[in-house]
Amino acid sequence: MQSEAIAAIVEAMRDGGGSRAETFFIAQGLGAAYNSVSKNYGIQKHVHAALLQAEREARQDEVLRAGLATYGLDKLVPTGSEDRVPTASKNTPSPTRRLFISHASADKKLADALADLLRLGTDLPSGRIICTSLEGMGIPTGTMNYLEFLRSQISDAGLVLPLFTPAFFDSEVCLIEIGAMWGLEQSAFPLIVPPVDFARVEKLLGKLQAARIDKEQGLSDLHDRIVHVFGLTAKTSMWNSKRNQFEEKLPGLLSGLAEGTRVAAGDLQKARKQVAKHMARARKRELELREVRDRLEEVTAAKNIEMLEEATRPRGNAIKEFKAAAEAASDALSGFTFGVREAIYEALGQGGLFRPDQFGGHHEDAEIALRDDLLKYNEDEGGYYLNTDDPGIEEAVGAVNELFDRDWGEEVEQWFKSTYKKRLSVRVRATWVALDLL
């Protein structure tokens, strides 16, 4: 049933994240429809907008089938249409289809060497290889819409060969090409290039079958696949000779690869937590140093014995208790991204929803927190709110309430004003900043 397929795709795309869903719809030529909805709305609104456009173009069934296949649901959910082209036909040897090498432009030398190996080692004509960074194999001069050109080339490819290098995962075009490959259900032979490993690929793209470019077996399997897909005559001696030459050059090519900057979300979250803990400790030392300096100023300014005794007398427990409560609140918030802490401030300080600027970095924080079930989204009012059923959120809210709801007395309030030059109030954002809560 079509409605069942739509529901399954919406749920899968919501769980899989906005970036992957957007990449899929761009590959389907529906990127503009997907992005026509304000980014303040959740993924569900974007997906429905794209599917509605597909319905207007009388190709919703086609898009649904591609979506179900991309998210591994095609065997679980029927689309209600039996006109699907058998995927086996894509594996039939073809004398006209081409090999599409998907790679980052920074990896041109590696792609060039690999294209030479495949061209000379399998007798695949250069005209049947699409490798966008190489002269004679790339995008024709005068092409106006290169993304549409890439989509059409991937659509007509007999085999897609992605080179998973560090720079590959930094390239938006490469990720679009991967999305198109999934969306069009194309046959692929991914090659993993060190220092990238299977674990990193799995973190970013999920489980998939791939081979390593630095292993003889991986290159041999690639040779066999190309010979089969393109209906070529295997020439083992020629292949072995060219493969040996490629393997001799490979260490130098790998050492010259561009370093990637993209990291897995889990690794980034761990790093953020470590930074937050170190900042909390530094803030605590700063407060202690400030207290010593204030006490020294009072002693220096004392003009009689009474003032000296007042300056040196032990402070009451209230200030120490306040500092402990502030540190506890800061620690409870330290594990969250800045976007989640902003949502907590909006909820407790302003009694409202968190509405990040769609052009700022906090919107992505909020979307990740939505998928992690830390935040929820109110579609009617267009904002994020706290999921207080989450233990971490519940602990953080309790710690902040303990800090601001307690009546600390005049001594603490005066001390806070003189120390931070701010008013002690849950509504004052600058107070949250001063206490390392934001």
Q: What is the pLDDT of residue 143?
A: 47
Structure tokens at 354: 């968190």
Q: What is the pLDDT of residue 299?
A: 76
Kindly report the number of other CB atoms within 10 A of residue 394's CB atom. Answer: 14
Kindly give, in sequence order, each residue whose CB lies less than 8 Å from that of residue 258, ignoring residues fewer than 6 positions away: 104, 106, 107, 165, 166, 167
Task: Please name which of 251, 246, 254 lies closest in space to residue 114, comparing C-alpha atoms.
Answer: 246
Q: What is the pLDDT of residue 213?
A: 92
Cα 436 from Cα 284, distance rounded (Å) = 10
Q: What is the pLDDT of residue 298?
A: 77
CB of 344 closer than 8 Å to CB of 421: no
Cα 433 from Cα 414, distance rounded (Å) = 18
Residues of the chain under the 70 pLDDT cut: 1-2, 40, 74-96, 133-152, 207, 260-281, 283-284, 287-288, 308-316, 358-361
Give whole-number Cα distances, 36 to 54, 157, 376, 383, in Å.
14, 30, 22, 18
CB of 127 closer than 8 Å to CB of 95: no
Angle, helices 108-122 vs 216-229, to 10°: value is 60
Per residue in 17-46, pLDDT tens?
A: 777 888 778 777 777 788 887 776 778 888
Handedness of CA 402, 407, 408, 413 (dihedral sign): positive
Q: What is the pLDDT of residue 137?
A: 47
Per residue in 126-146, pLDDT tens?
A: 778 887 765 544 455 444 455
Q: What is the pLDDT of residue 197?
A: 85
Contacts within 8 Å (CB) and 24+ apart, 231-238: 231/93, 231/94, 231/95, 232/122, 232/123, 232/124, 233/123, 234/122, 235/122, 235/123, 238/120, 238/121, 238/123
Q: What is the pLDDT of residue 324?
A: 86
Q: Is the bond leading into 195 cis (omega within 30 degrees of zero)?
A: yes
